[in-house]
Amino acid sequence: MSSMSRARVARRIATGAAYGGGGIGLIGAAAVGLLVAEAQMAKRHVGNGHSPHPPSADGRYGWESAHAGRTRAGVQGLSAPGDPPLRLVMLGDSTAAGQGVRRARQTPGALLASGLAAVAERPVDLRVVALPGAQSDDLERQVSRALEAQDGVPDICVIMIGANDVTHRMPATRSVRHLSAAVRRMRTAGAEVVVGTCPDLGTIEPVQQPLRWLARRASRQLAAAQTIGAVEQGGRTVSLGDLLGPEFAANPRELFGPDSYHPSAEGYATAAMAVLPTVCAALGLWPAEEERPDASRREGFLPVARAAAEAASEAGTEVTAAMPTGPRGPWALLKRRRRRLPTPADTPATAAEPTA
């Protein structure tokens, strides 16, 4: 499917979500029977009940007060001595929770908290309310939990959701409607929001054709529609897409966890490396010169549906709101940030594990 066709589909789904439509599915009705049959076969090979519950990663990560207040050229928003910790909350499904690894420091929340602490030179308090198996209709409950916390509204919220919506055939309009409402509530409360859009389920090792093709198509359609919904509510998105596709193909046993479905520690590190720059940028912590579009990386301003479609086709791509409107509707900035985590020299030992 071309990017223009994907943009039209994504806009149709997002519009249906905004206006209460529910009849637009992720794939044609004629394919549903085949998808169900293939999915039943895949379930015999995926999971097998061996995936452990995600480890609890809640706690404080990063810099002690002695480290606070250092300056870094070109970076805005660094802390002053005595500033309170930044508050990061993870919402979504098993990917956001870190299912498939055994150590807290290997979960995406811990990786993001440690990286954010290193960049901000400030402690980060992490709270994970994501639930393995969750679909987008669980986000309302998760947002309520996040906003009812005693320590107040989080500074940044990361949402990873969508895979279960595809596998359970939730209508795409309904899925996007729930995500948009969650982003709107968090932004209204004062939190920044970054959404890791639906990953490409066509990369799952045991899944065979034609289910693999259908899963890839459905995943990318949903990811593009999620981007439109999230960006129009004031959030930013990062396409997870087939981010791990080449790595999975070359090293499936290394980058998949024991259940052959959830990422391994190396897989989560790759995903966190893609999301961290956007988290930092949302909080004003990324170098100012990197916030301008770079034509050499094919960055620039596009209608939001076109930006969403391009992001769905290229993992690691960020989309954020730009000009409020234009001849073809709202516009967005598409960025292909350099993926990197802080080096060990940048990160103090206290960033490796939660202290509470």
Whole-number pLDDT of residue 63: 63
Residue 265 pLDDT greater than 50, yes or no: yes
Q: How far apart are CA 97 and CA 108, in angstroms?
A: 7
56 DSSP 8-state letter: P
Least confident of 197-211, 251-265, 296-310: 251-265
Task: Give residue-wise pLDDT tens across range 106-156.
Answer: 999 999 999 999 999 999 999 999 998 899 999 999 999 999 977 789 999
Q: How far apart are CA 258 and CA 260, in angstroms?
A: 6
pLDDT over 70 percentage in the chain: 64
Quick one: pLDDT band at residue 200, thresholds 50, 70, 90? confident
Quick one: pLDDT band at residue 326, thresholds 50, 70, 90? low
Read off the pLDDT of each residue in 223-252 and give the average, rounded to a whole number: 78
Q: Which helix (H) or strand (E) holds 75?
A: none
Whole-number pLDDT of residue 38: 54
Whole-number pLDDT of residue 64: 55
Residue 35 pLDDT greater than 60, yes or no: no
Evaluate whether residue 36 is within a structural domain.
no
Evaluate whether residue 218 is within a structural domain.
yes
Residue 94 annotated in active site: yes
**Cβ atoms 105, 353 nearer than 8 A:** yes
Q: How far apart are CA 338 and CA 12, in angstroms?
A: 31
Evaluate whether residue 202 is within a structural domain.
yes
Q: How far apart are CA 47 and CA 223, in angstroms?
A: 24
- Higher-confidence residue of 166 and 258: namely 166
Evaluate whether residue 46 is within a structural domain.
no
Q: How far apart are CA 149 and CA 123, in angstroms?
A: 18
- Higher-confidence residue of 308 and 66: namely 308
Instruction: Find the domain containing 57 and state its range.
Output: 3-21+53-351
| Joined tokens for residue 12 | 């149709």
Which candidate, 74, 184, 144, places its Cα nearest to that of 176? 184
Residue 77 pLDDT greater than 50, yes or no: no
Whole-number pLDDT of residue 46: 45
Query: In this structure, what CATH number is given to the domain that contains residue 270?
Result: 3.40.50.1110
Residue 226 pLDDT greater than 60, yes or no: yes
Exposed/middle/buried for residue 32 (C-beta within 10 Å: 0-12, 13-18, 19+): middle
Evaluate whether residue 167 is within a structural domain.
yes
Tally of domains within the chain: 1
- Higher-confidence residue of 184 and 303: namely 184
Quick one: pLDDT band at residue 69, thresholds 50, 70, 90? very low
Evaluate whether residue 32 is within a structural domain.
no
Quick one: pLDDT band at residue 348, thresholds 50, 70, 90? very low
Average pLDDT, the chain: 77
Whole-number pLDDT of residue 125: 96
Given the residues 51, 79, 94, 114, select the one marked as catalytic: 94
Residue 283 pLDDT greater than 90, yes or no: yes
Evaluate whether residue 47 is within a structural domain.
no
**Cβ atoms 231, 18 nearer than 8 A:** no
Whole-number pLDDT of residue 313: 84
Given the residues 51, 175, 239, 262, select the one marked as catalytic: 262
Read off the pLDDT of each residue in 182-197 and give the average, rounded to a whole number: 97
pLDDT over 90 percentage in the chain: 39
Residue 259 annotated in active site: yes
Evaluate whether residue 204 is within a structural domain.
yes
Whole-number pLDDT of residue 3: 60
**Cα 14–Cα 140–Cα 193 angle in degrees, nearest 5:** 65
**Cβ atoms 79, 64 nearer than 8 A:** no
